[in-house]
């Protein structure tokens, strides 16, 4: 008996040691160091706070926002209204200490310490930027029980792993209104991201007012553009949340909208109109025309004054060179100047642009294509091709940021992004070379989204990317990430995000406001096809296409489907495990098709996903048969396995550019049953 007790104690201790902090607290990004204490700080209506030290003025509205968010979540009527530099309070439970004002620049100190005890809270930071990160951690800790609201007592010391943690918003393919940009800035701040990369020119639209060349926005935007006042407002809004904003104006390619206004700078004669299709197109600036550089100098000078950040993105990607090859004047220039090919010609162009930006006080960023021999090391390489290119740039002394693996428009699962590290554990880089990798950016290209479903493509997956860029490298457990991100997704709604709210709205529209119960059951289990497959499935999308179909409502990384796949894995891993967790869902899915058909009959727009609905019913029924074979250990006829594997192959096919995400799990059940 003593031996049994001893073994139990050992097992409990081992479990306690193996229980990583990420399994205890619903924080994201997870802090560098967390120590949990065995007590709580109880919130009540007397809660107050005080800011001391020498912070930037933005700390006071940030503290006010934090207080209001606490009040809104708890319903508590706190005595403080607006926190200012003159706010005084006797013995405040929470004290925020800031040593100096922070600057919204690269490599500013963003560290903080948060100590929560049973009777006081101390938040300390070198800068107000770090203190604001501490606010977000505190808000994520808010919990409740039968006795009210509380904050678990902790001692947290935290700082980011990478200084560049960004989100790129493409406002060109589909225009994104200011309220979309602002709500996403709030969400970025909530997960400690600090860079907004604003993609503002493209074949499909030129999105900024130009007072120097007004025809750019007048003829290149369909009237959908940001005024100078709106740009300044967003920059100020972002800076108040510790977020840098820098623009991208894509040159020399992806430039059709520029030429709708000023065709004289193109490499082939016009006229040009705004591009309505998606893809890589021919229109390209003429790098041999001196007037091109006069034009870009004047425009970039205007934009450099509008955007105060020190970085400026020139794009530089996907120049197909067709206009250059066909232009006799350009070919003559290349021959006379010993420029051997189009890569070298683009390097010549980039070097000229670099001089312009440098004159205007900016540091140049461009996509991988600007990483060419002859380019100086004071540029920043933005890698969309992958970590190999990133490593090569770092080894050659170039600073770089990673977006390959963070293309959230490609509908890849959260864990794919989460495990994509800018500096993998097996990286060949030296410690000095690693410092050249500044961080990364999630990229939200907007060919297949509008402002009403774009949030569902960005969130919550970008929170996992934010953690990869902030947290220590060894915080990488996928299961605990998924547990935490579910709560973070819910918390992000308070910033006005539509990633949850608009889902059922879009389903109601699809059913003409009829019952969505059975449609939701199906759409919860499907995802849009991934990578660029959607463009190759017989539907030609343009900027005017409807983005209101089931595929547009369906979300990446369908949670219900992922949980079912995990439940199947647990069931198959343990022969003694009861299959009862699987049966109720499968029975519901078997019956769902007949009920959904009544809705489909009234909504022709749903006809395209009828095969998905039918396949869900069939594979759910098949899964039940497989489980019965497995549970009863009955011999499985070979013909049953063969014919049902054919059924599974059929169920893998996408319809309406969406696919069922249960099929792989059912296939595992059938193959396991087939071994009997």
Active site (catalytic) residues:
318
Radius of gyration of the chain (CA): 28
Contact 168, 443 (CB under 8 A): yes
Report which of 466, 473, 418 is spatially closest to residue 195, judged by C-alpha positions: 466
Rounded Cα–Cα distance for residues 98 and 121 (Å): 14
CA distances from 590 to 236, 372, 578 (A): 53, 57, 20
Rounded Cα–Cα distance for residues 641 and 644 (Å): 5
Tokens of 463: 């929170």
Tokens of 334: 């290349």
Find how far residue 587's CA is from the centre of its chain. Answer: 35
Report which of 497, 417, 424 is spatially closest to residue 464, judged by C-alpha positions: 417
Q: What are phi and psi of 474, to 5 degrees?
A: -80, 0
Contact 632, 586 (CB under 8 A): no
Helix, strand or coil, per DSSP, at residue 205: strand
Helix, strand or coil, per DSSP, at residue 132: helix
Contact 481, 417 (CB under 8 A): no
Rounded to the nearest 10 degrees, the angle between the axes of helix 478-492 and helix 461-470 is 120
Contact 207, 226 (CB under 8 A): yes
Q: What are phi and psi of 309, to 5 degrees?
A: -60, 150
Residue with tokens 């309220």: 179
Residue with tokens 């918390």: 491
Contact 47, 76 (CB under 8 A): yes
Helix, strand or coil, per DSSP, at residue 90: coil
């Amino acid at each position: 008996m003593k031996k049994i007790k001893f073994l139990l104690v050992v097992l409990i201790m081992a479990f306690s040691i193996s229980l990583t902090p990420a399994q205890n607290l619903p924080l994201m990004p997870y802090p560098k160091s967390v120590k949990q204490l065995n007590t709580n700080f109880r919130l009540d209506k007397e809660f107050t706070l005080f800011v001391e030290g020498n912070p930037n003025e933005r700390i006071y509205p940030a503290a006010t926002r934090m207080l209001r968010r606490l009040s809104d979540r708890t319903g508590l009527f706190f005595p403080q209204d607006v926190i200012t530099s003159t706010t005084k309070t006797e013995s405040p439970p929470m004290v925020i200490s800031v040593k100096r004002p922070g600057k919204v620049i690269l490599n500013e100190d963003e560290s903080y310490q948060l100590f929560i005890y049973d009777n006081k809270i101390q938040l300390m930071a070198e800068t107000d930027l770090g203190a604001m990160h501490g606010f977000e951690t505190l808000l994520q800790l808010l919990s409740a029980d039968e006795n009210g609201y509380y904050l678990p007592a902790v001692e947290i010391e935290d700082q980011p792993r990478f200084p560049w943690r960004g989100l790129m918003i493409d406002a060109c393919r589909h225009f994104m209104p200011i309220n979309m940009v602002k709500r996403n800035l709030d969400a970025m701040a909530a997960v400690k991201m600090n860079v907004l990369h604003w993609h503002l020119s493209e074949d499909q639209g030129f999105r900024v007012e130009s007072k120097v060349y007004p025809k750019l926005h007048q003829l290149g935007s369909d009237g959908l553009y940001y005024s100078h006042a709106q740009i300044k407002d967003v920059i100020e809004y972002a800076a108040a949340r510790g977020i840098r904003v820098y623009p991208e104006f894509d040159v020399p390619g992806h430039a059709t909208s520029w030429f709708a206004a000023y065709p004289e700078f193109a490499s082939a004669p016009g006229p040009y109109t705004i591009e309505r299709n998606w893809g890589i197109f021919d229109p390209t600036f003429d790098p041999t025309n001196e007037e091109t550089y006069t034009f870009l100098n004047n425009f970039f000078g205007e934009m450099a004054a509008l955007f105060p950040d020190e970085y400026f993105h020139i794009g530089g990607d996907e120049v197909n060179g067709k206009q250059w090859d066909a232009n006799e004047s350009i070919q003559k220039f290349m021959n006379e100047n010993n420029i051997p090919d189009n890569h070298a010609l683009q390097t010549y162009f980039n070097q000229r642009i670099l001089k312009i930006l440098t004159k205007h006080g900016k540091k140049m960023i461009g996509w991988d294509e600007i990483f060419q021999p002859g380019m100086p090391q004071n540029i920043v390489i933005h890698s969309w091709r992958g970590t190999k290119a990133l490593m090569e740039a770092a080894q050659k002394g170039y600073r770089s940021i990673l977006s390959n693996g963070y293309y959230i428009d490609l509908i890849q699962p959260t864990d794919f992004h989460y495990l994509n590290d800018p500096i993998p554990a097996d990286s060949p880089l030296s410690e000095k070379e690693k410092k050249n990798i500044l961080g990364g950016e999630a990229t939200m290209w907007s060919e297949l989204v509008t402002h009403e479903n774009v949030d569902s493509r960005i969130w919550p997956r970008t929170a996992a990317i934010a953690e990869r860029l902030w947290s220590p490298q060894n915080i990488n457990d996928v299961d605990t990430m998924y547990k935490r991100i579910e709560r973070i997704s819910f918390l992000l709604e308070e910033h006005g995000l539509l990633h949850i709210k608009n889902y059922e709205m879009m389903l109601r529209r699809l059913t003409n406001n009829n019952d969505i119960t059975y449609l939701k059951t199906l759409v919860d289990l499907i995802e849009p096809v991934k990578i660029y497959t959607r463009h190759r499935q017989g539907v030609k999308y343009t900027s005017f296409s409807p983005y209101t179909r089931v595929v547009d409502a369906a979300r990446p990384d369908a949670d219900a489907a992922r949980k079912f796949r995990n439940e199947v894995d647990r069931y198959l891993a343990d022969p003694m495990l009861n299959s009862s967790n699987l049966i109720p869902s499968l029975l519901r899915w078997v019956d769902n098709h007949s009920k959904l058909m009544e809705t489909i009959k009234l909504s022709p727009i749903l006809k395209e996903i009828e095969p998905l609905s039918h396949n869900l019913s069939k594979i759910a029924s098949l899964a039940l048969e497989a489980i019965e074979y497995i549970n009863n250990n009955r011999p499985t006829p070979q013909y049953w396995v063969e014919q049902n594997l054919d059924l599974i192959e059929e169920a893998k096919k996408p319809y309406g550019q969406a696919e069922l995400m249960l099929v792989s799990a059912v296939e595992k059940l059938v193959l396991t049953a087939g071994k009997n």
